[in-house]
Structure 1
Amino acid sequence: MASMPFSTLCLFKKPNYLTVRYAPSNQFRFSSYSTLRFGATQRRRKIGITVCRVASVAFRDLDADDFRHPLDQQNTVILRAIPGLNELGKALLGTVAEQVMLLENIGTSVLVSKNQLPGLHDLMVEAANILNVDAPDLYVRQSPVPNAYTLAISGKRPFVVVHTSLVELLTREELQAVLAHELGHLKCDHGVWLTYANILTLGAYSVPGIGGLIAQTLEEQLFRWLRAAELTCDRAALLVAQDPKVVISVLMKLAGGCPSMADQLNVDAFLEQARSYDKASSSPVGWYIRNAQTRQLSHPLPVLRAREIDEWSRSPAYKSLLKRGTLINSLQNV
């Protein structure tokens, strides 16, 4: 899931090796070894890669506008009306920025493939198949801050980055929903505008001659558009997960979850919290505070995203899309 939760889910060193906790059967596992802890003792045990189909249908004729959020449509029109925006973006995100971002990820992350973290690779390929979009390169990066984001620079092959702490926090189904969220950005051709926003949230102010100019001229409008685009990509996550509680659980965990408390979190209670936020912000003063609170954010508040995806999951538009889907076979354990 482009950063405060997803894709940005949220931007968020551990030792230079990857440790993945033992996962129950309903969780994603991509390490060939895990550490099992029993009181003061621990032992290492080899475990297999388990990949099971979460969704039941794929969308062979899916168009981005089939699931694009109305606010995304509105703000895209506004951005396109800004004279020279695309040209400015290509100039700003030229050779220097491209090399900074590409080398940063290639040099400090692990590139996922059939032979490297194959379970994670399978989740990405499967999600791309469901949404009928080409799978981008995928990197795993050490970070204590749960996050995933997408970058597509100068017409090069786009890539998605997932932080290790996000993998540890989420179940297999939830992690695939995050990957689907990122694929939603590519499906909707969010392209260069998404890269603007991600470079801002990733600290582009430190890139000489680039960050400052973007921040001064485009930040507010870009973040308004990005908040709307995130709502669209949450829908892409739902199209792959095909269970709103999976997507809402991701948002809840990003808002206040950790591996040790994951089994105590309650999606229904989080939705009730979202409704209470709507009620508390319905007054004139509440409305003003709510807008002031979100204006400089790159992502909508998690409770608002949860409420949005819950409502869309019950809409005729979503149900109609599911009926259009093509049944797919489940992947077997590998």
Structure 2
Amino acid sequence: MGFSKTQLIGLRADDFRHPLDLQATTALKQLPGLDILVRSLLGPVAEQFFYLNNIASSILVGKNQLPHLHKLLLEACQILDLEPPQLYVQQNPIPNAYTFAMRGKQPFIVLHTSLIEMLTPEEIQAVMAHELGHLKCEHGVYLTLVNIVVLAAGLLPSWGAVIAQSLREQLLQWVRCAEFSCDRAALLAIQDPKVVMSVLMKLTGGSPTLAPQLNLDAFIEQARAYDAISETELGQMLKTAQTAQLTHPVPVLRAREIDRWASSQDYQRLLQRRQIEYNQKADSKGGWRNW
């Protein structure tokens, strides 16, 4: 990581939360009893299930186990002003990463081996920071429900399936919006938009052999072409239908969003404000800036 990064002491989720995330989260909070249902009934079961799965079939990363990954996690947590969660590496041919957290419990992040093999160390840290964004924004309760409802929607009969499908659509809409906030967390940790966009590019069409050959500038142009499709009513309708059942926005859209935010005054002001506050605290402590 070739340059000194701004450490974001006192960073709050609302400093970087995407407006669509805020809007979708507010809508979910209007559903009575949803939060209590997950915390009291579904959450503890899911938490125990995932914990046992990780202990049984994943590698717990630490200072004595894959220490290079442990160091990347600690650096990202330090920049984002967040307590480190547990980090697991799991053998899986599908490139993916996910997080689980119920407030007050032990959160964790899981990285698949195929994802690690495809990315550079800085890109791996960007993925970690994206997952840390879920923790920073306290997405854990609804993320748990997304996983449960997506799995259960096809199993419920008659009227139960109708209710589940309606809730499923609302939750999928929320999680797609939440991903934009987490991409911003990745940018705040890495502080180079090209690294974040490179991760998205490799998730779109990469592999350990193809990844080094991909052209980021061409991918950014591709993202702009995706935007142009919205200029017609038919194009907009097709895009909506394409994404309705996805848990993530399409990668080109995420790349476009992070490119825009990285160029915004809001992003620059946030880094500058946090740098000033960090320097002031450093000076008051006798100069502990070099970490």
- Give TM-score, length-normalised by structure 2: 0.88
Give the one of 88, 93, 96 matched to 1:147.
Answer: 96
Residue 107 (1) aligns with residue 56 (2): yes
Which 4+ residue blocks in structure 1 deviate beyond 3 angstroms? 52-55, 198-201, 203-208, 211-217, 326-330
Q: Which amino acid aligns with 2:127?
A: V
Indicate yes or no: 2:203 matched with 1:257. no
Query: Of 141, 144, 152, which aligns to 1:192?
Result: 141
**Secondary structure of 2:210's aligned partner:** helix
Relative contact order, CA 8 A, sep 6+: which one is greater? 1
Q: How much does 1:222 deviate?
A: 0.9
2:184 is aligned with 1:235: yes
Shift in Å at residue 155 of structure 1?
A: 4.0
TM superposition shift of 1:262: 1.7
- Deviation string, structure 1 residues 138-167 (Cα, Å, up to 9, x no partner): 000000111000012474201100000111
CA displacement 1:149-206 (0-9 Å, x = unmatched): 00124742011000001110000110000000000111111121022224456x4679
Structure 2 equivalent of residue 128 of structure 1: 77
More helix by share: 2
Instruction: Note the C-alpha offset of 1:97.
Output: 2.7
The SS at the match of 1:260 is coil
Residue aligned with 1:57, SS = coil
1:64 equivalent in structure 2: 13
Instruction: State the aligned residue count.
Output: 277
Counterparts in 2 of 1:318 and 1:85: CA distance versus 1, 3 Å? same
Give 1:180's aligned residue: 129
Work out the CA distance in 2 between the residues paired with 1:178 and 1:214: 34
- Taking the aligned partners of 2:229 and 2:193, their CA distance within structure 1 comes to 24
Residue segments in structure 1 that go unaligned for 5+ positions in a row: 1-51
Q: Which structure 2 segments of 5+ residues have no match?
A: 280-288
Is contact 2:89–2:110 with CA below 8 Å preserved after alignment? yes
Supply the distance in 1 between the matched residues of 2:3 and 2:147 (Cα, whole angstroms).
29
**TM-score of the two chains, using structure 1 as the length reference:** 0.77
Offset at 1:109? Answer: 0.2
CA distance in 1, matches of 2:137, 2:268: 20
1:151–1:198: 8 Å Cα contact kept in structure 2? no
| Selected match of 2:245 from 292, 296, 300 | 296
Identity of aligned residues (%): 58
- State yes or no: 1:268 paired with 2:217: yes
Match 1:164 to one of 113, 118, 126: 113
**For the residues of structure 1 that align with 2:117 and 2:144, how far apart are their CA atoms?**
26
C-alpha displacement of 1:96: 3.4
Structure 1 position 80 matched with structure 2 position 39: no
Aligned: 1:285 with 2:223: no
Q: Deviations over 1:49-70 (max 9, x none)?
A: xxx5665111002111110000
Query: Which structure's residues are more often strand, by fraction?
Result: 1
285 and 206 in structure 1: CA distance in 2 versus 1, 3 angstrom threshold: closer
Change in Cα spacing, 1:139 to 1:68, as seen in structure 2 (3 Å) is same
Secondary structure, counterpart of 2:87 in structure 1: strand
How many angstroms apart in 2 are the aligned matches of 1:291 and 1:216? 17
CA distance in structure 2 between the aligned counterparts of 1:55 and 1:177, rounded to whole angstroms:
16
